[in-house]
Amino acid sequence: MRNSCISSKNTNLNSIQDAYKDFLNDPILAKRNSLLIELSNIIKSNDIREETVNEFLAHSYSLIDYMSQHDAKISKCIIDISNNPESPTEVVSYLSCILNKHRIWKRNLKNINYVFENLDNIYNVKMPKYKSVHYLKFSSTELINDFPNMYYYKNYDVNKILSTTIMPNDLSTDTSDGINSFDLLILRAIFSFYDNNIFAISYKNLSRYISFSDSYIITNNLLKKVKSSVRKLLNTNVLIRDNLYNHIYVERLIYAIDNEYGFVVFQEIPIYSFSIEHNLYTKLNYKFFDCPVSMTDLNIAIREYLIYQLVNIGEGNDIFFEDFYSNIKITDTQMKKKSREVVIRILDYWKNNNLIYNYSINKIQNKYISFSFSR
């Protein structure tokens, strides 16, 4: 592998890329993907025998060591290239991005190892603290057109760099068309648990968390709905196209082993890892989600739609009710009236809790035309 300093002041971008191609064509990716396949096989077979786990841990720690040694060489490359005043900055930026990606991968591997090494001790009744919520900033025409759903096998552009496609892991057990706003709510909640170092999650605690309830009484209907959503997410893969690194790869949406009572999450949810890596998220006050509306599919879709507009579209823009009905997939007159009442109730709550500065409803001759809000 070539890692010597480029000394010629006339070196152009192509020659630098050629000299450091062994680093630019990241060899870690294939090794990491191989390890994730090994993890997926453990999850699929629910094989957590000591010998299986120990074999995985040996491979994982070996990859962490290899990555650390490789990253040290990349760091030296960056210094070598930077010492040449005529060197282009593109390669340095690219190598720096690779180092950042490796940092995230190493962190995830260490967490996976921790979970495997503490399987007998991580079961607890902890709940994430209600502070802020990581909300994905995925502004996409396809996403808003399909709201509140993300359909299987359809490509969704996240931005100019990333695009994603979701698909079922097992076609024989999945009869749905994709994931909906409730599933995305569950996915976000699971990330909140994981982000708070809570890797073993019971279905009851997950139900309490999404309903912002401290009560030990959870309705059977909500519990059933949460279980169904989790199992759908566990059976979903995500294909990610990363144009910055020219990589395409498939991962499980959630790496977890489940049972009747809950599940254990082994790795940070990939789609959140990408959002953090590329700064495609924002932290929202949890009160945006703790609204005084019931946990029906319609109410969740309305709340998620309003938050999506706030984060991705921007404040102050008129949102026409006809567009709103279309996006929420409402055609019935009575349901339109009910949905408007929910919108006003949520916006009232946000305003009273200083989450937004104000909102307005535009009517002409008692016909609802549009609404807007500002922070």
Instruction: Measure the N-to-C terminal CA separation of the chain; round to a whole number of Å.
Output: 54
Q: For residues 161-179, give the mean pLDDT.
A: 80
Q: For residues 157-175, give the mean pLDDT.
A: 79
pLDDT band at 175 (very low <50, low <70, confident <90, very high): low
pLDDT at 240: 87
| The two three-digit tokens of residue 135, written as one number | 């909300």
Q: What is the pTM of this model?
A: 0.86
Question: Would you list the domain boundaries of the chain?
Answer: 13-117, 123-280, 291-375
Higher pLDDT, 96 or 20: 96
pLDDT at 359: 93
CA distance 310 to 345: 16
Check whether 59 has a pLDDT greater than 90.
yes
DSSP code string of 232-300: HHHTEEEEEEETTTTEEEEEES--EEE-SSEEEE-S--HHHHHHHHTT-EEEEEGGGT--SS---HHHH
pLDDT at 22: 58
Residue 257: which of 1, 29, 42 has the closest Cα?
Answer: 42
* CATH number of 291-375, picked from 1.10.10, 1.10.3210, 1.10.3470, 3.40.50: 1.10.10
pLDDT at 143: 77
Burial of 113 (0-12, 13-18, 19+ CB in 10 A): middle
pLDDT band at 172 (very low <50, low <70, confident <90, very high): low
CA distance 116 to 119: 5
Burial of 214 (0-12, 13-18, 19+ CB in 10 A): exposed
Higher pLDDT, 217 or 342: 342
- Supply the mean pLDDT for the chain: 85
Q: Are 83 and 5 within 8 A, CB to CB? A: yes
Higher pLDDT, 70 or 129: 70
Check whether 21 has a pLDDT greater than 70.
no
Question: How does pLDDT run across 28-44, given as a tens digit for each residue?
Answer: 988 999 999 999 999 99
pLDDT at 213: 66
Q: For residues 175-201, give the mean pLDDT.
A: 89
